[in-house]
Amino acid sequence: MVLSANLGFPRIGAKRELKKALESYWAKEISQDELFKVAAELRQLHWRLQKDAGIDHIPSNDFTFYDHVLDMAVTVGAVPERYGWNGQGIVDLDTFFAMARGNAKTGAMEMTKWFDTNYHYIVPEFHTGMKFRLSGEKALRHFEEAKKLGIMTRPVLLGPVSFLLLGKMKGGGTALSLLDSLLPVYEEILSKLAAAGTEWIQMDEPCFVLDQPHSSRDALKRAYERLTKVSPKLKLLVTTYFDELADNLEAVFNLPVAGVHIDLHRAPQQLDAALKAARKDQVISLGVLDGRNIWRANLSAVLPLIEKAIAAHGKDKIFVAPSCSLLHTPVDLDNEKSLDGELKSWLAFSRQKLAEVSALAKAAHGQKDKAVFEASDKAAASRKSSQRIHNPAVKSRAGKVAPDMLKRRHPFAQRELVQRQSLRLPLFPTTTIGSFPQTAEIRNARAEFKAGKMGEAQYKDFLKKEIALCVKFQEETDIDVFVHGEAERNDMVEYFGEQMDGYLFTKFGWVQSYGSRCVKPPIIFGDISRPKPMTVEWSVYAQSLTKKPMKGMLTGPVTILQWSFVRDDQPRSETAKQLALALRDEVLDLEKAGIKVIQIDEPAVREGLPLRKKNWQSYLRWSVDAFRLSAAGVKDETQIHTHMCYAEFNDIIAAVAELDADVISIETSRSQMELLEAFASFKYPNEIGPGVYDIHSPRVVPQAEMEMLLKKAVAVLRPEQVWVNPDCGLKTRKWEETKLCLKNMVGAAKALRQAFSAKEAGLRAAR
């Protein structure tokens, strides 16, 4: 019989119950027992919900108080010394939270993106000669907890090879060299689970959808040859997701394991190879539904894939599942009471996806539920033709984008001259990234306005007052290029989404970003257009208050795309192009309204990179083109800025240069300007503002420190190339430290200016 399976369920709760409990616990408002109670209730609710949806393989141990990678680190005792764990027994909850969030004595462990999702995991720390021991029993406890409720679950473990590959070796060496000392702990977990009555265990090895050297495949083989010997009763399912296995496919199917899960949503093309590679007695778990987007599946289109697998491999060795854990999808569409019926009929959240999985599994063994399939067909048909989705004018305009629309009128060298004349900026011009502190007052006013408690006129007046304060402060501080402060924006994507056609918003569409932090990505469901200017009014008002140039502030097409749930009925590149055209209009409207500097933020370009290197080029091509399409319509004298806030530039620097922004501001202070090396050896052509101070911390950075960083920058860049700005926007900071930091920043710029004009005078005198 074809079984239905799930790989993981969102833990945070349909109404973010876990978030609230965690934050109350951290604020010492509830006890550990109360936190445990909320967690146990959520688990129970979610297991029952999956059972009711008809899922045969229900995961356990997918729940965590923070992050499943951190869970694994704690389970095997990989606790860095600075957290003061005594190394005995079980790692306690507060040590676990200290690793995630830092404590009074030490900071949090590093966090990074989970593959190409918006979820962040805690990066395990390893060192040569490290000893592992079993120091967490969550997998066992949760299995038993579910069993007591009458639900047999499939415990999920992050597999040993991916666990090591996702970590970092401190002090050099390769993490895989630790495999032999790690495996005994995994063996211990597996044998305890076997003794408790577990049948299947899900071993996540997602790293094998990435480019891997031989050594990783060898390690995988070694690991699973040992782990499959732990107990004859246990069946291991190695799960992979987010992309194709490609050159790792043989190695994964050659493992002596009972089953392999593959992502057939992202990579349907790998089915044939999988059918060929699988042993006759090996289960293939087909990840047929998109586990990380919110679209309802077209069941009739998916079923043939399953039937093909059955024909080749037999009913008894096929599972049907979402492509990956549902961690990246909200919980339940039924909570969306204000979405209209048609829009709703196109969507599926976790609960709805599980019903789809179950319907597919049933249909695959001959019990097709006609009504379910008909409803799915109907939704697919209406999505294909709905006028709410398809806007012929937008499609035709996108179809006519010509290459010259991606090009500024003249090359940068020429633009630089006219811009210098028109903007009259000093050497080392100072600016900020856009947002100023979002005070409680601003948030309250926005909440009141949204709740209808504050009228529009009053809200606008309030915002104008805020803008005026920002302008006044920048005058006093003698900054060169101003911003209006972004007080009117809740979020850099939602703000634009709300003003464009083609977007819809949910009330409870939350997904976990990290720990208790959730995001509610807006949904791009249709062709994108801009009914009217989105930011012009604010920029023009702000400019009216000062003679200094005021930057118009926009979020770029790639970032808007990346931080939304996107359409699956057209390529991402097409959606990016539509967004770019809408932004292009906004850019031109800003220019027309007298704004001379326009910043188009693209902090998400790097995270959009495909997992496999071979796909990078095509992504970079269309994403660079989308940015250029949004920016290139302006005159030479209009200065286009962009901003990116991360430090790993080396591998995409050529693409960054191709954006051809006149000025780019980047994050550098935390890496002590290391990344400037990339810009130096590459000879970045345009102007750059390497962030001179970290905005993630309230620390007041002394002027001397910023001067030192600037000197490092000037050592590898031309002085005329260098701008002076913080690492990122200031919205999470308080005014107190912001004022002091920016004062020091302007001081640093002035000191450098002086040093350079003295040097120039000296040179002239010597001539």
Rounded CA-CA distance 590/534 in Å is 10
Residue 153's DSSP bridge partners are 58
Query: How would you label 431-446 residue by residue, b for 16+ Cβ within 10 Å and e otherwise?
Result: bbbbbbbbeeebeebb
- Residue 696 among the catalytic residues: yes
Rounded CA-CA distance 96/134 in Å is 15
Nearest CB to ligand GLN, comparing residues 325 and 435: 435
Asked if 601 is part of the footprint of ligand GLN (rule: CB under 6 A), the reply reads yes
| From 603, 689, 690, 747, residue interacting with ligand GLN (rule: CB under 6 A) | 603
Which H or E run includes 78?
Answer: none
Asked if 437 is part of the footprint of ligand GLN (rule: CB under 6 A), the reply reads no
Nearest residue to 327 via CA among 508, 54, 116, 513: 513
Nearest CB to ligand GLN, comparing residues 425 and 666: 666
| From 415, 731, 738, 741, residue interacting with ligand GLN (rule: CB under 6 A) | 731
Nearest CB to Zn ion, comparing residues 212 and 555: 555
Close Cβ partners of 355 (under 8 Å, ≥ 6 residues apart) = 53, 54, 372
Asked if 53 is part of the footprint of ligand GLN (rule: CB under 6 A), the reply reads no
HEC states along 669-692?
HHHCCCCHHHHHHHCCCCEEEECC
Stretch that binds ligand GLN, among 191-199, 431-439, 474-482, 539-547 (CB under 6 A): 431-439
Asked if 647 is part of the footprint of ligand GLN (rule: CB under 6 A), the reply reads no
Asked if 558 is part of the footprint of Zn ion (rule: CB under 5 A), the reply reads no
Query: In whole angstroms, how close is the CB of 327 to Zn ion at the nearest point?
Result: 25
Stretch that binds ligand GLN, among 202-210, 259-267, 320-328, 427-435 (CB under 6 A): 427-435
Find the residue with minimal CB distance to Zn ion.
Answer: 645
Which residues in the 477-536 window bind Zn ion by CB under 5 A?
none
Nearest residue to 309 via CA among 288, 323, 289: 288
DSSP 533-560: -SSHHHHHHHHHT-SS-BEEEEE-HHHH
Candidates 127, 365, 390, 696; catalytic one = 696
Nearest residue to 114 via CA among 509, 614, 515, 491: 515
Query: In whole angstroms, how close is the CB of 3 to ligand GLN at the nearest point?
Result: 43
* Residue 452 CB-density burial (10 A; 0-12 exposed, 13-18 middle, 19+ buried): exposed
Quick one: what does residue 463 bind among Zn ion, ligand GLN, none, with the CB cut-off 5 to 8 Å set by partner type?
none
Quick one: what does residue 492 bind among Zn ion, ligand GLN, none, with the CB cut-off 5 to 8 Å set by partner type?
ligand GLN
Decide: 49 and 11 in contact? Cβ < 8 Å.
no
Query: In whole angstroms, how close is the CB of 516 to Zn ion at the nearest point?
Result: 22
Number of residues assigned to the chain: 767
Which residues in the 162-221 window bind ligand GLN by CB under 6 A?
none
Distances in Å between the Cα of 53 and the Cα atoms of 295, 356, 573, 635, 732 are: 18, 9, 35, 58, 41
Asked if 728 is part of the footprint of Zn ion (rule: CB under 5 A), the reply reads yes
Quick one: what does residue 139 bind among Zn ion, ligand GLN, none, with the CB cut-off 5 to 8 Å set by partner type?
none
Report CA Rg, the chain.
Answer: 27
Phi, psi for residue 610 in degrees, rounded to 5: -60, 160
Nearest CB to ligand GLN, comparing residues 43 and 731: 731
| From 155, 167, 291, 434, residue interacting with ligand GLN (rule: CB under 6 A) | 434
Quick one: what does residue 731 bind among Zn ion, ligand GLN, none, with the CB cut-off 5 to 8 Å set by partner type?
ligand GLN
How many residues line the site for Zn ion (CB under 5 A)?
3
Which residues in the 477-516 window bind ligand GLN by CB under 6 A?
486, 492
Nearest CB to Zn ion, comparing residues 664 and 676: 664
Nearest CB to ligand GLN, comparing residues 58 and 483: 483
Residue 204's DSSP bridge partners are 158, 239
Asked if 320 is part of the footprint of ligand GLN (rule: CB under 6 A), the reply reads no
| From 643, 647, 676, 725, residue interacting with ligand GLN (rule: CB under 6 A) | 643
Query: Taking the CB of residue 133, how many other CB atoms lie within 10 A of it?
Result: 15
Asked if 728 is part of the footprint of ligand GLN (rule: CB under 6 A), the reply reads yes
Find the residue with minimal CB distance to ligand GLN.
Answer: 729
Rounded CA-CA distance 503/498 in Å is 7
Asked if 729 is part of the footprint of ligand GLN (rule: CB under 6 A), the reply reads yes
Residue 239's DSSP bridge partners are 204, 261
Nearest CB to Zn ion, comparing residues 360 and 645: 645
Nearest CB to ligand GLN, comparing residues 14 and 595: 595
Rounded CA-CA distance 549/594 in Å is 10
Nearest CB to ligand GLN, comparing residues 359 and 645: 645
Stretch that binds Zn ion, among 119-127, 186-194, 564-572, 602-610 (CB under 5 A): 602-610
Which H or E run includes 322?
Answer: strand 318-322
HEC states along 220-273?
HHHHHHHHCCCCCCCEEEEECCCCCCHHHHHHHHCCCCCEEEEECCCCHHHHHH
Which H or E run includes 525?
Answer: strand 523-529
| From 419, 435, 703, 721, residue interacting with ligand GLN (rule: CB under 6 A) | 435
How many residues line the site for ligand GLN (CB under 6 A)?
13
> Residues interacting with ligand GLN, by CB under 6 A?
433-435, 486, 492, 553, 601, 603, 643, 645, 728-729, 731
Catalytic residues: 696
> Residues interacting with Zn ion, by CB under 5 A?
603, 645, 728
